[in-house]
Amino acid sequence: MFRASVRTLSTAARQSLRIGLIPADGIGKEVIPAAKAAILALGSDIPNPQFVDLAAGWETFTRTGVALPQETVDILRQECDCALFGSVSSPSRKVVGYSSPIVALRKELDLYANIRPVVSVLVGEKPSVDLIVVRENTECLYVKQEVQTVGEHGKEARATRLITERASRRIGQMAFELANARPRKLLTIIHKSNVLSVTDGLFRETVRSVPTLPGVNGKYDQVTISEQLVDSAVYRLFREPEIFDVLVAPNLYGDILSDAAAALVGSLGLIPSINAGDNFVMGEPVHGSAPDIEGKGIANPIASIRSAALMLRHLGYTKGADRLDTAVDQVIREGKVLTPDLKGTSTTNEVLEAVLRIL
């Protein structure tokens, strides 16, 4: 299970924990309540948790014309210590006025790091996987600067890809912190600078320079740095995942790699993440809105519960986070109460109840 902490936000003056809940679309409305129930089951390990229900998503857009209401952003900034986000059903076609609320939230709250641990749970499970994908969260092609024009040969579409030294340095520091806290202390930089020598070249060079920054003073001397081109990284991820420890990547590569890694441990329904900045953290299960199973009561709540654990650990509530992870791992190892994505027949609520019984 994932145990590394990342730049723990201070809990010294916190008398209660105020958590924004943004179920958004699809199965988000089913798994975020499960995460809430799991947090409540921790009792005194979490000081007086309070929950604020907030709106965002495609369904919010269809009702109001706004996918991310300003009220949601303001409440998160002014009243909440952290948040849990469910899933969003962004359309694959262009819709005038619509933009992904999760992408917007990451920018609004400066949640520049998306941290996605992928870990084998079953004893003797092959392949053996224990890695973290650290994904830059604010740049790359996700700046969504696209234009379409008509040229000599018909329609032409172009997208701007932004990589900055500042963002690359921040995500590099986060990745080095994580790698330094783990036993293997191995950091792999993912890029494609043999082709994209300017953008990926800047990312690669900036991350590599982190140990030489002023004030670091040898802090990362024990971290071994390696590199992989993104295409060969995907190949090796499936062939020999055990070679990876912490991977740091630009936004798009990190998104693809972490979803691919989920296939190695059975399901996207197991994979948590946090969107982390220097002043706020938001848990988010990696799976999407899964419209094919929405409303059937069979969505896997484990990723959302694990995301809650990651969020709590980031805030310094290590004991509560460990209890959540231990309970989830026990349910998986017992194998008696699993949702259909893990070849089981149990419902969302049955899996949640199994976790709650252990807690």
pLDDT tens string 201-240 = 999 999 999 999 998 889 999 999 999 999 999 999 999 9
Catalytic residue among 45, 130, 200, 255: 255
Question: Is residue 191 located within the same domain as residue 296?
Answer: no
Domain extent for 148: 113-268
Which tens digits make up the pLDDT trace of 144-185? Answer: 888 999 988 999 999 999 999 999 999 999 999 999 999 999
Q: Indicate if the pLDDT at residue 105 is higher than 70.
A: yes
Would you state the pLDDT for residue 2?
47
Domain count, the chain: 2
Which tens digits make up the pLDDT trace of 1-52? Answer: 444 445 555 544 457 899 999 999 999 999 999 999 999 999 989 988 999 9
Q: Of the candidates 268, 290, 319, which is a domain's last residue?
A: 268
Question: Is residue 161 located within the same domain as residue 46?
Answer: no
245 is known as an active-site residue:
no
Question: Is residue 14 located within the same domain as residue 107?
Answer: yes
Catalytic residue among 45, 112, 130, 142: 142
Own/partner pairs, 118-126, CB within 8 angstroms, 24+ separation: 118/258, 118/261, 118/262, 118/264, 118/265, 118/271, 119/1, 119/2, 119/265, 120/264, 120/265, 121/1, 121/265, 121/270, 121/329, 121/332, 121/333, 122/332, 122/333, 123/333, 125/265
Q: Of the candidates 237, 268, 299, which is a domain's last residue?
A: 268
Question: Is residue 257 located within the same domain as residue 359?
Answer: no
Strand order in the sheet with 186-191: 50-53, 18-24, 82-87, 281-283, 274-276, 113-119, 130-136, 246-249, 186-191, 224-229
255 is known as an active-site residue:
yes
The whole-chain average pLDDT of the chain stands at 92
Q: Indicate if the pLDDT at residue 242 is higher than 90.
A: yes
Q: Indicate if the pLDDT at residue 333 is higher than 90.
A: yes
Question: Is residue 164 located within the same domain as residue 211?
Answer: yes
Question: Is residue 33 located within the same domain as residue 1?
Answer: yes
Catalytic residue among 98, 107, 259, 329: 259
Question: Is residue 64 located within the same domain as residue 50?
Answer: yes
Which whole number is the average pLDDT over 266-279? 92
Would you state the pLDDT for residue 124?
65
Instruction: Look at strands 246-249 and 50-53 and give their pairing.
Output: unpaired
Which whole number is the average pLDDT over 80-88? 97
* Predicted TM-score of the model (pTM): 0.89
Question: Is residue 102 located within the same domain as residue 118?
Answer: no
Q: Indicate if the pLDDT at residue 126 is higher than 80.
A: no
Q: Which tokens belong to 109?
A: 């709250």
Which whole number is the average pLDDT over 88-101? 88
Question: Is residue 133 located within the same domain as residue 233?
Answer: yes
192 is known as an active-site residue:
yes
Which whole number is the average pLDDT over 58-76? 96
Question: Is residue 10 located within the same domain as residue 146?
Answer: no
Would you state the pLDDT for residue 142?
84
Question: Is residue 120 located within the same domain as residue 258?
Answer: yes
Catalytic residue among 29, 112, 130, 192: 192
Q: Of the candidates 248, 268, 288, which is a domain's last residue?
A: 268
Which whole number is the average pLDDT over 326-353? 95
Question: Is residue 137 located within the same domain as residue 213?
Answer: yes
| CATH number of the CATH domain containing 196 | 3.40.718.10
231 is known as an active-site residue:
yes
